[in-house]
Chains A and B, each alone.
Chain A
């Protein structure tokens, strides 16, 4: 709860859940949106000093 980036971590968890459910139940992986969102999250974590997270 203390981590300022918690909402973004939850989005990463949501993406991981989708990456499991989609191939398992629908025989597909919806990758373009996940890739785009992952890119923004990587930019965030790359810019933030570890001491601030």
Chain B
């Protein structure tokens, strides 16, 4: 390699870590340097490859449980049997959960509609967490929307909108059948850096509703919306803004924008 920049600055540029002046300098350099242009292309491709390969390995559920109980044990050993602050917190948490359920129930005021599906936040979080266990994330692992969409054919009584948003930073990772509120739903899996986002989709007869400000529990967030006869819930541990962005992309592409 002959160009000094391709060994160092190029990577700072790729990672968005150069200050404005140096970034502009590098862009000017890029116009004349074939080597850097090629190296940048290769580095971008490597990044996309890593992103798509789903190399991130989340902690096994068993480990999570073990650590929680050890921490509890350590804290209790240190303090002796403490008065039940934790029990009260647990009560508060379950009240919150009930509130969450009620929120969903309120969302669907026409409970009489026979096709109505009631999904609780707890159910949805369970489905999301379950999907993160090794081998459960996708039934059809493909980044190609033209593979994922037909896969749902015949497995569901509706066709979920499927689109890859790699360029926007949400690569499609695959799809899966899941059950929510006692009905089969489509689960579309998107990546966001190291994280996974489950987008649950099922048909609805209700009016469109905007992307609802997110709910959150145990470090997971979700947003909910209805659009053109489909009901959506996106769940993940990514931040609320990212979830909102993905939701907006889905709405926009359904509108053909």
Do A and B form a real pair?
Answer: no
Which residues from chain A sit less than 8 Å from chain B, CB to CB?
none
